Chain A
């Protein structure tokens, strides 16, 4: 359950790495913005009197994806692209600082931004039992929405002209440009898609924990990046797999180890570290040839 959210964030990291070879560290805070945009949209719709939860939720998703996607493109234009050619350390620090700016902006400018915000429960409550395992409708709905998002992105990347352009830029930006691909447009599009996915993850996280907070982006970002790295940066399926694995390790360690819920992040990050020692470029590997 947690895994699918991580996977959605990780796909963003991996897409950005694919097209620009950068790690966009403020992506975690973009995820947080997604949750806040969704909450604002829901509050607005509630005030406007649109009662039906399904309609409200769909509109909130659409609004959040649009707004946060555009903000992601803005972040890329301002902060990521100008530095993409300089050392990775620069982009790292620039995007980390941008994340700080986003966090502080939410803290200051969102009404009562310092408090955790309750997130409305719009998914059907209740559940059923299947072979001794309690399954809640809420979790099923989250799973379904996340899967839908992932399948859509997969179709978008593998079966459309746009997707072909993204894949071409990821392989070789210069060659892609020579083939008539609009480089800037494609990069913008990639950031829109990635940030939109983070927005979906943000709302899902709000629905799951029924609470959102302005610092949720820090751990969300680090976990998403870990997931993308486990899977192999630049590989979309790797990122999904990595996200699911990370969620699984967390859940298992919380369940199996005494006092595990306190130490679940320790276990999960230790697994990530060990994993990167054994397979320094992820499960599915990053395509890379070292040239001298």
Chain B
């Protein structure tokens, strides 16, 4: 138990140090410390086995410790609103990634329209709050449903086409969405929708810095806690789905449609259910984004973001729920961390993804084989 808590404390402090390191020297030091840890675990089998056993035995402790660390993170980042914002974005990508992973990883329904579904959520929030005067909380709940309902437009292509053709259909969907948002009048065209009212709890607006237990945190901490709740609920739901008969059925139809059909799995139902549930979470992420930044515009939801979402699940490990969390927490902050490299960072981002695919094709945290006891 002590080993578990010790490891988690170490990881958490490394993360905080890595985020807050300003000078290249301190950044290099934390990077080196992290790399040493990873290499030590990788090269010493005894250590790895001990850690694995400890984490398996004290699951509850490990989860509580992790939750505790996540809750404390804004306290350590209180000096830097910017990094609080980045951490919030990472949690938003956890939510989106879980939705997309259910579609692509678990059910094998290739969806490159993630940005469009997030955009549908975001634009719904924008339109409902600014044009219809609807309360922000209600809009946050409505956004995902719009993504689900409009996702039904793709039901027929999903059932009819597969593989590369399905990829193309979803790419076409993003392009159509983007062109429409850019050119329609009521969505504000290229300007997008501005001044989306923020969330409030009991009169406390989310744009004012909260004071928790006597400590004043940056304003983004409000959204951080909400995003944490959202990501945790999403991950828990997806985890339950993945472990249930539905997850098993989806895995079967992903691996072999005809065999699944022969075993009585409804391919039609499975694909559509997975696609809709996935879109719900992607739309939820998009709605949250709109409320957090206060405006939406077409470039926020262009095809490139579909790729970022896809990279999150591939880097983490396709179909791996823990992998999505890891992928989002690595891929979102890392490019920001390397803002020093500024113009080269997208280039490096592409190179990193290609290298991961070539040398670690199952992801950083591959999905484990299902075990039933």
Contact = CB atoms under 8 A, between A and B. Distances in A.
Contacts of A86: 361
Nearest to A290: B258
Given A88-B163, A273-B169, A101 B157 contact: no
Contacts of B79: none
A266 interface: yes
A90 B314 contact: yes
Contact of A94 (B160, B162, B354): B354
A108 B180 contact: no
Given A89-B110, A100-B350, A292-B259, A265 B171 contact: no
A104 B259 CA distance: 44
Interface in B83-137: 104, 110
Contact of A101 (B156, B169, B354): B354
Nearest to A108: B343
A244 B199 CA distance: 50
A246 B171 CA distance: 16
Interface string A55-96: 000000000000000000000000100110011111011101
B230 interface: no
B258 A276 contact: no
Most chain A C-beta atoms within 10 Å of own C-beta, residue among B168, B258, B351: B168
Interface string B284-310: 000000000000000000010001001
Contacts of B256: 292
A98 interface: yes
User: Looking at chain A's contact residues, is the secondary structure mostly helix, strand, loop, or mixed?
Assistant: helix
A266 B176 CA distance: 5
B61 interface: no
A229 B171 contact: no
B168 A272 contact: yes
B347 A94 contact: no
B82 interface: no
B119 to A, nearest CB: 15
B331 to A, nearest CB: 12
Interface string B140-179: 0000000000000000110011111101110111011001
Given A89-B104, A276-B161, A229 B168 contact: yes
B358 interface: yes
A90 B361 contact: yes
B179 A265 contact: yes
Interface in B172-196: 172-173, 175-176, 179-180, 182-183
B71 interface: no
B157 A276 contact: yes
B310 A93 contact: yes
A273 B172 contact: yes
A94 B358 contact: yes
A108 B175 CA distance: 26
Contacts of B160: 276-277, 280
A262 B294 CA distance: 27
B55 interface: no
Contacts of B164: 17, 23, 88, 229, 233
Contacts, number: 125
Contact of A96 (B161, B176, B307, B358): B307
Contact of A266 (B165, B167, B179): B179
Interface string A192-217: 00000000000000000000000000
A218 interface: yes
Interface string B329-373: 000000000000001101101110110011001000000000000
A222 B174 CA distance: 11
A83 B358 contact: yes
Contacts of A93: 307, 310-311, 314, 353, 357
Interface in A257-288: 259, 262-263, 265-266, 269-270, 272-273, 276-277, 280-281
B311 to A, nearest CB: 7
Contact of B165 (A107, A218, A280): A280
28 contacts: A79-B358, A83-B361, A88-B163, A88-B164, A89-B110, A89-B314, A93-B311, A94-B353, A96-B307, A97-B311, A98-B350, A98-B354, A101-B347, A104-B347, A219-B175, A222-B172, A222-B175, A225-B168, A225-B171, A262-B183, A265-B175, A265-B176, A265-B179, A266-B175, A272-B168, A273-B157, A276-B169, A280-B165
Interface of A: 17, 23, 79, 82-83, 86-90, 92-94, 96-101, 104-105, 107-108, 218-219, 222, 225-226, 229, 233, 259, 262-263, 265-266, 269-270, 272-273, 276-277, 280-281, 290, 292
Given A97-B354, A108-B344, A277-B156, 11 more contacts: A17-B164, A88-B164, A89-B314, A92-B110, A94-B358, A226-B168, A229-B164, A262-B182, A263-B180, A265-B179, A272-B169
Interface of B: 104, 110, 156-157, 160-165, 167-169, 171-173, 175-176, 179-180, 182-183, 256, 258-259, 303, 307, 310-311, 314, 318, 343-344, 346-347, 349-351, 353-354, 357-358, 361
The 7 closest A-B pairs by CB, nearest first: A101-B350, A269-B172, A100-B350, A104-B347, A97-B353, A97-B350, A262-B183
